[in-house]
Structure 1
Amino acid sequence: MTIRTKTPKFDTPQIPVKAKIAAAWTSFMFLYIYVDILNFYKPGVVDGILNGLVWRFAVNSTLLTVMLVSVSIPALMVMLSMTLPARANRATNLVVASLYIPYSIFNAAGATWEWALFYGLSIGVEVLLLAFILRSAWTWPRTPAPSSLPGRASAPATVRTAG
C-alpha cells in the first residue's frame, strides 16, 4: 500500500522592482552584445571593418566613442536600477528605455530580406525587454503616506492665523 502525500507548492517570493528592472537591463545587455558578435559572421562585415567601415560609417575615434556610449548606457542602467532611489530610478528607466526602443529599431536600417529573421528576432526581443522595463517602471508600487496607513490616526492639521 502506497501513501501519497500532497506535494508542497513552490514558494514564489516577491521580487523587488529594482531587481526585476536590473535583471531586464542585464538580459538586454547580453542580447545587445551577442547580436553584435553574431553580426561579425555576416559575409563582408569583418572585411568592411578591416577596410575601415562599419555599415556606412568610417571607423574613427568618434564612431568608436559613440559605440562605447551606446553600450555603456544600458550597462550603467543595471547598476543604477539597483542603487537609485525609487523616484529617480523610475524616471531614469522610463526615459532611457523609451529612447532605446527607436535606437534598437534603427539597427534594422539597411537590412536585406535575407537577414530579416535575424534582425526581427533580435530587435523584437530587445524591444520586449525594454517594454518590460517601461511597464515595471510605470507601474512601480507607491508607498502610502504614513497618515493613510491602516490603524494610524492622521496628524492634526496646523492652522495659521493672521496676526
Structure 2
Amino acid sequence: MSSAVLDDLKVHVKLKLSALWASLMFCYIYGDYFGLYVPGQLKGMLAGQGPIGPVSQGALVITSVLLAVPGVMVFLSLVLPPKVNRWLNIVLGAFYIVVMLLTMPGAWSFYIVLGVVEIAMGGLTIWYAWSWPRQTLA
C-alpha cells in the first residue's frame, strides 16, 4: 500500500482574491433573494421603500455602486498590478466588513449567517492581500 501524497496546484494570490470576491457576490445575491421572503418586504417595496430608505434614483445609484464593486473586484483582482491590487483589496475588504457589521443588527437569522460568512471572506481577502508573497530581487 502506497502512502502517496495527493498532487496540489499552488494557487496564485490573485486567483484567491478573485474567488473570494465572487463568493462574496453569491452571498449578497442569496441574502437579497431570501430577503424578499421576509413578511412585508414585497409590500414595502411596492410602497416605495428601498434598502436604504425611500426609493429614489440617488438611493438606487448608491445601492448599485455598493453591489457592483465586489463584482468588479472579481476582475480587478486578476488584472491590477500587485501593489495597487494589494491595497485595494485590503481597503475594500475592510469596508465591506464594516458594511456587514452595520447592516446585521436586528436582521433575520439567515442574514446573520450570510453576514458572518461575508465577514470571514472579507477577513480572508485582507489576510491574503496583506500577506501577498514577495519576490527577492537578485
TM-score range, shorter chain: over 0.9
Cα RMSD of the aligned pairs, angstroms, is: 1.4
* Alpha-carbon distance, 1:18 to partner: 0.2
* Alpha-carbon distance, 1:12 to partner: 1.0
Match of 1:133 among 91, 110, 125: 125
Q: Is the 8 A contact 1:18 1:82 kept in 2?
A: yes
Percentage of pairs with the same residue: 33
Q: Is the 8 A contact 1:24 1:133 kept in 2?
A: yes
Does residue 23 (structure 1) correspond to residue 19 (structure 2)? The answer is yes
**Equivalent residue letter for 2:58:** T
Relative contact order, higher structure (CA 8 A, sep 6+)? 2
Equivalent position of 2:30 in the other structure: 34
Q: Please identify which structure carries the higher helix content.
A: 2
SS of alignment partner, residue 10 of structure 1: coil
Match of 2:113 among 102, 105, 121: 121
- C-alpha change, 1:69 and 1:108, in structure 2 (3 Å) is same
Match of 2:57 among 55, 61, 73: 61
Q: Which runs of 5+ in 2 are unaligned?
A: none
* Alpha-carbon distance, 1:8 to partner: 3.5
Superimposed CA distance per residue, residues 3-36 of structure 1 (whole angstroms, 9 cap, x where no aligned partner): xx42643211110000001000000001111101
**CA distance, structure 2, for counterparts of residue 15 and residue 39 of structure 1:** 34
Q: Which runs of 5+ in 1 are unaligned?
A: 147-163
